Structure 1
């Protein structure tokens, strides 16, 4: 009886030990979730030319810049900065070097669907510092039919007669427009974290 109790106690102790080791290993191998960054985000005081150059340099890694108005916060001149990018087709799983689609759902969606994005960055002087807001808009392509459909609505008639268009070059789906999907918050977070790091830790670049 005593041996059985001792054996049971040793088994329980071993199980608790393994459980503790498993929890420790999980804590050591599990990445700590990144802190959510507010958007708009406050930036520390810095020369306006430096702040704007970091914003432009960071955005150039994600999108092609369409137009920009540099921020001014010196010599008594206070002017908001604004940067707009062109629309860019979302990077797929086959394009890991592109940064306009974040890993996970966004990149998978850009692989399976026709997604485009554009970004608007606004930098407002606030005292000696700044407030930056990043807005990434995401759209879904709306087509007349599926890409792999065997027939199109333009040449289908209910009386069984086929209409062949002589001037049509190919039979690819035609874009009807783009459906707004809202904002890509995950990419906004990545861009904000990138810009904040460039301004607060310039030596890392």
Structure 2
């Protein structure tokens, strides 16, 4: 009984010390107020494009590339057009929890049942009132196959039907199968990347 009281009193004193240091740190400025608040409240939704109030283009560019590189392999970096393009990446499944490109469990289940890939296009443009605007677009695509992969059944060896020959001369370009069907954008992964950029600058 005595040990229980000692542990309880120690926990209470430790809690008071932590709150006092947090308040003192926030008042003095060496602990960001937003960091302490996010412990007790969910992280706010990041705007897209995200305003980074820093005039150093190289710092904003390098931090953005580093954050995008945590999810994708960067295909090209064009500083003149201020555009970052990534390579398409097959989405993580339920059996790959170490990959973070599928943010929600619903995304992982969807990628487990069918082949999904994503790629990102990021723009870093100057803001009208100073700083830079980081815009993140993550596009999701569904694989479009002519026939199911690894199908066990094939066509019959002997065909008893004799269809009428209706071959016609093709005029013009022959359409080619796209291979991937656009499924829109992925706002969950966009938020994850923007939150990483925002956290890198302690915004």
Q: How does 1:15-26 map to 2 (within 5 A)?
A: none
| TM-score under structure 1 length normalisation | 0.64
Report the Cα distance in structure 1 between the residues aligned to 2:70 and 2:141, rounded to whole angstroms: 20
What TM-score do the two structures reach when normalised by structure 2? 0.65
Cα deviation for residue 35 of structure 1 reads: 2.5
Q: Distance in 2 between matches of 1:88 and 1:157?
A: 41
Unaligned runs of 5+ in 1: 1-30, 71-78, 161-174
More strand by share: 1
Secondary structure at the counterpart of residue 181 of structure 2: strand
Residue ranges of structure 2 left out of the alignment (5+ in a row): 1-39, 162-176
Q: Report 1:4-83 matches (<5 A).
A: 33-70=42-79, 80-83=81-84
Preserved contact between residue 50 and residue 133 of structure 2 (Cα < 8 Å): yes
- Alpha-carbon separation, structure 2, partners of 1:54 and 1:133: 14
Contact 2:92 2:108 (C-alpha < 8 Å) held by counterparts: yes
Q: CA RMSD in A?
A: 2.6
Q: 2: CA distance between counterparts of 1:94 and 1:135?
A: 26
Distance 1:143 1:39, change over 3 A: same
Q: What is the number of equivalent residue pairs in this alignment?
A: 149
Assess, with a 3 A threshold, how the Cα gap between structure 1 residues 137 and 157 changes in structure 2: closer, same or farther: farther
